[in-house]
Chains A and B, each alone.
Chain A
Amino acid sequence: MAAGVIRSLSQGLRRITPFGSRLYSDEVRTVTLIPGDGIGPEISAAVQEIFAAASAPIKWETSDVTAIKGPGGKYIIPPEAQESMNRNKIGLKGPLKTPVGKGHPSMNLLLRKTFQLYANVRPCKSIEGYKTPYPDVDLVTIRENTEGEYSGIEHMIVDGVVQSIKLITEPASRRVAEFAFDFARAQGRDTVTAVHKANIMRMSDGLFLKCCREVAEDYKDIRFEEMYLDTVCLNMVQDPTQFDVLVMPNLYGDILSDLCAGLIGGLGVTPSGNIGADGVAIFESVHGTAPDIAGKDLANPTALLLSAVMMLRHLGLHDHARRIETAAFQTIKEGKALTGDLGGKAKCSDFTREVSKKVQEIE
């Protein structure tokens, strides 16, 4: 009983923290669900089933974000989808297929530009039951998602010489640094490490580092470290337990977050969230649409499920998040209902049923 009292007190305390909590009562939250293409619809259905079994106070509003040609000829997200997201602020997205064709922008890029998703958060935690050479990984990579090397500004100055511009700005660096420290505080993490290459790119990464240092002054309860990108890579593959929260510009973030995903087992089990301006947050699975197994009930919903758990934590529904996550990890650990990519022979629906059963058993 004492444990229950302490738990509810600590949950209450967590709800008071400014970042990440939106609920002060058990009201039902509406969330925009974007099933996506390929295996998207199956895994979205699986997540909805598991959430229903856990009695999570979430109402799903499905919408489709296939780009359409807007006024002016440029591709845009359909206005209904934009409206839905701006109203609900929270979204869960399955894998999207970029249509092949001239001028069609990447769907992920379009979403990023439309909702100004400036930070990509990827928590990497080793999954018990899915063995990799790296047990005990527990870190979070936070990547600046709007500028840096991916600005897309390239020119051929002279024939045979191409120049790509990497853009680093103070407001964007400051914004992602503030998010990183807020996140660390809200999730109870104790160290934030800025990853950079300021010894080589002295002005650009130097600016990023300066912003991180200035923001760290306001968060004295969180330890701040800086490390060169190559040192991080070297140490990451030898001992990943020394890292906690990593914050970095775009390109390094892309590479390091995929590296960390590889440590825990690949993109099929890695959750991811994108934070945008005005409180918009879209959680997604980062694997592909897997068209070869689409519609055959063979897909693994773990990545989307863990992203949905991340979403629950963002909303402050820590109890439901904990129950669903524990159920999923226990199912994988038992190994009886694993899908093909995790080394088993079960179907997606078997896995979903098993997780739903467990989530109802867990207190």
Chain B
Amino acid sequence: MAAVVRTLVGSATKLQWQPASVLCSRAVSTTIPAQDPAVAAPVSKPKGNQKVTMIPGDGIGPELMHSVKEVFKHALVPVDFEEIHVSEVQDWGQDHQDTVDKVIQSFERTGVGLKGNIRTPTHGELMGMNMRMRRRLDLFANVVRVKSMAGLKTRHHNLDFVIIREQTEGEYSSLEHESVEGVVESLKIITREKSRRIAKFAFDYATKHGREKVTAVHKANIMKMGDGMFLRCCEEVSELYPRIKFENMIIDNCCMQLVSNPYQFDVMVMPNLYGNIVDNLAAGLVGGAGIVPGESYSHSYAVFETGARHPFAQAVGRNIANPTAMLLSAANMLKHMHLEYHGQMISDAVERVIKVGKVRTRDMGGYATTTDLTTAIIDNLHKGKYSSFV
């Protein structure tokens, strides 16, 4: 145990540290700046394409996936998509309706996925499909990188923090029953094992990405046992990382601080429901649900999706959705798969289009359609430093 601690502490000084114990190297993504010589155009073309599971989902999911496919086609990305259509509200007929089992099988083959949001209606089985998938794949950590985009006018500027949310337990355990008529009990489960796991993930992430502070968000003054245990686990894990500052904040104060002084946050770790609230709040701070990418990690799989997860059904068929979040997420996915060149090219193109600001969808204050924005991004694809590879 002491040897493990020493190794972890000793390695924390190196920036490009691959944690060996809890997380396998595939499950934590790397961000490499464009100036790094490692992102030069690849010298050889891959023999075959890598496979990625794609779950379009409901609402604007299919439209966003279409954008992603178009951009990938024009960027010559060596990736093949295995599309799986699962939904609780749509019915594609007997032969075409897919199930969660099919999703799991596909993930076992590919290991990486791109996912749209599956709508969870208010009726039906107690546990929605999103949650079932996350439980079976054990996608315990949801990471949302909140970063202000140059060119977008928001009330707060130059924000840069990360929200890490435990997403397999907590309030989303779907254990509800009506004990007496008119009285419903819903159970919120917090376990020491999962709390420790997410805390360790958060500190490992902070170490890997050179972050200085981890803030645990909780409500331990009211839920003394549950959130109290979560907080204690975070404190225990923080002692293994002496170089990373640890502090904690109550969720209501955290929300107040996020709207008045969001610059004080660096990495935040929290249980499920608070993560949902803070994810959406933070997405609103930098420009909305159409801007922020997010990803979910388990020990063996990585799923890339948008940060604020809404099916946005009002926009279906109207070509007004903003594909930025999904494209940035797809770029992160490529970097995770060690296709840094293509990933960087796509994220650079997206950032350039937003910065120039001539093509903006409705949520960013403009009038462009989804297709307009996708076309603009495609036009900007091969304008980067290393565009000789075509």
Contact = CB atoms under 8 A, between A and B. Distances in A.
Interface of A: 132-134, 149-150, 152, 154-156, 159-171, 197-204, 206-207, 209, 229-231, 233-238, 251, 254-259, 261-263, 265-267
B184 A207 contact: yes
B171 interface: yes
Nearest to A159: B192
Interface of B: 120-124, 126, 128, 131, 155-156, 171-172, 174, 176-178, 182-193, 219, 222-226, 229, 251-253, 255-260, 273, 276-277, 279-281, 283-285, 288-289, 308, 310
Contact of B284 (A238, A256, A257): A238
Contacts of A156: 225
Nearest to A106: B221
A258 B126 contact: no
A169 B184 contact: yes
Contact of A168 (B120, B184, B253): B184
B187 A162 contact: no
B187 A164 contact: yes
Contacts of A154: 223-226
Given A155-B225, A167-B185, 17 more contacts: A149-B188, A152-B222, A154-B225, A156-B225, A164-B190, A200-B131, A200-B174, A203-B186, A204-B184, A230-B308, A234-B281, A237-B285, A238-B288, A255-B252, A261-B256, A262-B256, A266-B260
Contacts of A203: 126, 176-178, 184, 186
Nearest to A259: B255
B140 to A, nearest CB: 16
A203 B178 CA distance: 8
12 contacts: A160-B229, A165-B186, A168-B184, A170-B182, A198-B122, A201-B176, A203-B126, A230-B277, A234-B283, A238-B284, A257-B252, A266-B256
A262 B259 contact: yes
Nearest to B123: A202
A234 B229 CA distance: 29
Contacts of B192: 159-161
Contacts of B222: 149-150, 152
B260 A170 contact: no
A203 B173 CA distance: 12
A167 B184 contact: yes
Contacts of A161: 189-192
Contacts of A198: 122
A261 B280 CA distance: 18
Contacts of A201: 171, 174, 176, 186
A203 B253 CA distance: 29
A164 B226 contact: yes
Contact of A236 (B123, B176, B191, B284): B284
Contact of B193 (A160, A166, A209, A263): A160
Contacts of A149: 171, 188, 222-223
A236 B255 CA distance: 12
Nearest to A154: B225
Most buried by B among A159, A164, A258: A164
A200 B185 contact: no
Given A170-B182, A262-B259, A254 B252 contact: yes
Contact of A162 (B122, B131, B229, B251): B229
B185 to A, nearest CB: 5
A201 B191 CA distance: 19
Nearest to A152: B222
A202 B308 contact: no
B252 A258 contact: yes
Nearest to A231: B310
Contacts of B284: 233-238
A230 B276 contact: yes
Contacts of A133: 155-156, 259
B163 to A, nearest CB: 13
Contact of B253 (A152, A155, A258): A258
Given A168-B184, A237-B285, A263 B121 contact: no
Contacts of A236: 281, 284
B177 A229 contact: no
A162 B176 CA distance: 16
